[in-house]
Amino acid sequence: MTSDSTALIIPELIVGLGNPEPKYDNTRHNIGFAVVDELAKVWQMPLKENKRFQGLFSEGVTPGGQKVRLLKPLTYMNRSGQSVRAVTDWYKVEPCSVLVIYDDMDLPVGRLRMRLSGSAGGHNGMKSIIAHLGSQEFPRLRIGIGKSDGEKTTISHVLGKFAPAEFKATEEILYISVKAIELSLKAGIEQSMNRYNGFSIDY
């Protein structure tokens, strides 16, 4: 039996990247956590600490009827792969069924970009996941956090909070991210890419 190259890529595990301490709440680098928190709220799938998975975890069925698992690794960003690998091993999830959500400085605030695969692009959380899964063939949703304005270092920019002028765009992009993920669960990642990759919120 030949494999179907047109098979839909449907996420089974959705991972949001961030750092676990309260001081990192609502920072640019934690936008992946924020999206998973929003999914957990909208889908009524409360996250609970799971020591085996080294993260906050939940599983359930979305309003659209898709079975899905949510994960926020509590390992700190640069060891996120340990937590993701623990879940994929336990549930026998293939890398192509893992959707990772993370921040991207190369995209402006108010933009998102979904892709089927790719390199880490300098993101330490993604480097860790690629190393632990032994593959970069897994989908990802990048959320724009914008570049630093030159006065700040890159580290202080990504670990800083969004500016007041960006709050509304950030709230809207969380809403759009949920819609993009819900579409990917129903119709596959590529459909979601086609619909949402050109989306932009002005602020």
In angstroms, rounded to a whole number, what is the distance separating the alpha carbons of residues 57 and 76? Answer: 15
Do residues 133 and 120 make contact, with C-beta atoms less than 8 angstroms apart?
Answer: no
In the predicted structure, residue 5 carries a pLDDT above the cut 70: no
How many CB atoms neighbour CB 65 within 10 A?
A: 8
pLDDT in tens, 128-165: 999 999 999 999 999 999 988 776 788 888 999 999 99
Structure confidence at residue 2 (pLDDT): 41
Structure confidence at residue 88 (pLDDT): 98
On the 0-12 / 13-18 / 19+ scale of CB atoms within 10 A, 95 is buried
Sheet with 112-115: strands ordered across: 48-50, 55-61, 67-73, 13-16, 98-104, 140-144, 112-115
Q: Which CATH number fits domain 13-196: 3.40.50.970, 3.20.190.10, 3.20.20.240, 3.40.50.1470?
A: 3.40.50.1470
Which pairs from 187-193 meet CB under 8 Å and 24+ separation? 187/8, 188/8, 188/9, 188/10, 189/8, 189/9, 189/10, 189/11, 189/99, 189/114, 189/116, 189/139, 190/8, 190/9, 190/116, 192/114, 193/114, 193/115, 193/116
| Range of weakest confidence among 77-86, 101-110, 120-129, 156-165 | 156-165
Residue 157: active-site member: no
Share of residues in the chain with pLDDT > 70 (%) = 96
Q: Dig out the tokens for 68 from the structure.
A: 């899905």
Among the listed residues 29, 123, 132, 157, the single catalytic one is 29
In angstroms, rounded to a whole number, what is the distance separating the alpha carbons of residues 139 and 97? Answer: 7
On the 0-12 / 13-18 / 19+ scale of CB atoms within 10 A, 122 is exposed
Domain ranges of the chain: 13-196
